[in-house]
Chain A
Amino acid sequence: MTFAVILAGGKGTRMGNSEMPKQFLLLGDKPIMIHTIEQFLLNQQIDKIIVCSPKEWIPYTNDILKKYLFNNDKVSVTQGGSTRNETILNGCMHIREKFGASSEHIIITHDAVRPFITQRIINENIEALKKYEVCDTVIGAIDTIIVSKDGEKIDEIPDRNFMFQGQTPQSFGLEAFIDNYNSLTDKEKEILTDACKIFIMKGKEVGCVKGDESNIKITNLYDLKIANAIVERNILND
């Protein structure tokens, strides 16, 4: 089975003074997260969608899913973790509990706050897992990347041709993630904030899927303003 795991575990600490986690803020007339989930709902290759929310926001999440989604049957909600990778782990354990363990299960993890995900990117993630055990969605670096260990002076400017920016989805086998994550030490779990980095550290090959510049992550009020500016509302008048 193919699962989408929507990472909605953030609590809105970067979105100005808003107490509402950013994934619940409105893009047009629907919460950002709903737009994101809809893209996976419409994809026939996705069997189930697991939404990982902060514990205190689970009832809220269930309410908005019921209010806005045209079809709730494929979607279930579980608790997020204290870190991103822990959230993914919780999503994986939820899948195991409901659908059993299987080396055939693959998961497409995606930020709830990236509503501009395209069908091509979803389909290419699924396709890439036929060739690679893990894949990441990336775009070529738009700006020059510099390395600075202290934030004050530049230590290195790598060749931009080899620099990419990581987006989501990040996709992998369910059992592969659980096994590799559980084999990390507590210290490693602390420093490894990116799921794909876990696999790199374990010597696994991670494929690249071409993302898109439009697949933006809405992390602050400016991003939200831009997102609202670029989305037109369709008035059905034919």
Chain B
Amino acid sequence: MINQVYRLISPKQIRIDFVDEQYDEGYVIVRPHYLSICAADQRYYTGNRPKEVLNKKLPMALIHEAVGEVVFDPKNEFSVGDKVVLIPNTPIEESIRKENYLRSSKFRASGFDGFMQTYVSMRRDRIIKFTNIDMKVATLLELISVSMNAVKTFDEKSLEEKNTFGVWGSGNLGFIVSLILKKKFPDSKVIVFGVRQEKLSYFSFVDEVYTVDNIPDDLTIDHAFECVGGSRSEDAVNQIIDHINPQGTIALMGVSESNVNINTRMILEKGILLIGNSRSSYQDFKDSVDFLQEHSDVVEYLNNIISDIKVVKNVNDVHQAFEADLVNEFKTIMKWEV
């Protein structure tokens, strides 16, 4: 069937390519309905990546956060109309290592086409059916699964004492990580650190919030999640190192294009455990779907970080959505009606 793939051919230039999709029993055809824009997509869209990376990866359809509806399953394991979340990580080998860390795994909108297509052919182990979750909120499932991966890994590897968590970053990732921590560790305190008080005010469910220029000197945390990334990661990580208790765990989640200078001497002195986190697996998605189905209040909180829903019917609408996203506080979702 002829499919339209909306590809970024160079920064801020989108072209519709026509692809003749083949049917295969290993694949299910999904019509995406809601797509969520991520900072990673923006880096490609605005050209904020090294030139050699752009030359290598483009042209490519963006977006790795999406939910949709099944329109055709050759094996009829899924029914037409089933609501599904689309898993962007695509492993091609079995390993004892987690699929999202395998160097061989492919990832949507990073080396192969993302979900900005009229239809997406999904390998059947790359979609999970869900019910009773608002589709718009379900669009955040990828980000939830990334957070779930980080929290689960942290829980497996960290010191038993978990009285106080610090979350650095008051954006989408910090918000979702904080929500998960509050639910998974109900007896623990969660403190969020951010740059702007206006954004911190959204974190009504945590115990305390501080702007990063106003942290009490004697404040300590047992463990921390760094959800900052970019040029501010260095300050965030070093601030965490200053305030974390000995043998605490720092879960690193923010992506930075340049190397980040950190106080390794203090890491040694305090015996701090650093864990790198990236992307997520099928199981993380499954756990995230269960998490949303179990906690209806989480769904309501997540509604508050959907800053904008843009109806997209053509390329111009895509541009408007990306441009709007650059100034939105939290998430911009595209209602995909191409």
- Residues of A whose CB lies within 8 Å of any CB of B are 27-30, 35, 38-39, 42, 44, 70-71, 115-116, 118-120, 123, 214, 230-236, 238
- Could you tell me if A28 and B71 are in contact, using CB atoms closer than 8 angstroms? no
Q: How far is the CA of A106 from the CA of B49 in the complex (A)?
A: 50
Give B165-180 as 1s and 0s: 1 = Cβ < 8 Å from A's Cβ atoms.
Answer: 0000000000000000
Q: Decide if B238 is an interface residue (CB 8 Å cutoff).
A: no
Closest chain A residue, CB of each to CB of B73: A70
Of the residues A28, A70, A115, A231, contact of B23 by C-beta under 8 Å: A70
Residues of A within 8 A of B118 (CB): 118-119
B282 to chain A, nearest CB (A): 14
- Could you tell me if A234 and B20 are in contact, using CB atoms closer than 8 angstroms? yes
The 8 closest A-B pairs by CB, nearest first: A38-B1, A28-B20, A238-B90, A231-B18, A232-B19, A234-B19, A234-B21, A42-B71
Give B311-338 as 1s and 0s: 1 = Cβ < 8 Å from A's Cβ atoms.
Answer: 0011000000000000000000000011
Residues of A within 8 A of B71 (CB): 42, 44
A132 to chain B, nearest CB (A): 19
Residues of B within 8 A of A123 (CB): 337
8 new A-B contacts, CB < 8 A, other than A38-B2, A119-B31, A233-B19, are A35-B1, A35-B2, A70-B74, A116-B18, A120-B337, A231-B2, A234-B19, A236-B121
Closest chain B residue, CB of each to CB of A229: B18
| CB<8 Å pairs between A and B, sample of 12 | A28-B20, A35-B2, A38-B1, A42-B72, A42-B119, A119-B118, A119-B338, A214-B16, A232-B18, A234-B21, A234-B121, A236-B22
- Could you tell me if B29 and A39 are in contact, using CB atoms closer than 8 angstroms? no
Give B21-34 as 1s and 0s: 1 = Cβ < 8 Å from A's Cβ atoms.
Answer: 11110110101000
Given A35-B2, A42-B72, answer yes or no on A214-B18 (Cβ-Cβ < 8 Å). Answer: yes
Q: How far is the CA of A231 from the CA of B338 in the complex (A)?
A: 18
Q: Decide if B286 is an interface residue (CB 8 Å cutoff).
A: no
Closest chain A residue, CB of each to CB of B337: A120
- Could you tell me if A232 and B20 are in contact, using CB atoms closer than 8 angstroms? yes
Closest chain A residue, CB of each to CB of B4: A118
Residues of B within 8 A of A29 (CB): 20
Residues of B within 8 A of A71 (CB): 72
Q: How far is the CA of A2 from the CA of B322 in the complex (A)?
A: 35
Residues of B within 8 A of A116 (CB): 2, 18
Q: How far is the CA of A27 from the CA of B27 in the complex (A)?
A: 23
Closest chain B residue, CB of each to CB of A233: B20
Residues of A within 8 A of B20 (CB): 27-30, 35, 231-234
- Could you tell me if A120 and B80 are in contact, using CB atoms closer than 8 angstroms? no
Closest chain B residue, CB of each to CB of A124: B313
Q: How far is the CA of A219 from the CA of B69 in the complex (A)?
A: 35
A223 to chain B, nearest CB (A): 14
Residues of B within 8 A of A236 (CB): 22, 24, 26-27, 121
Residues of B within 8 A of A231 (CB): 2, 18-20
Closest chain A residue, CB of each to CB of B122: A238
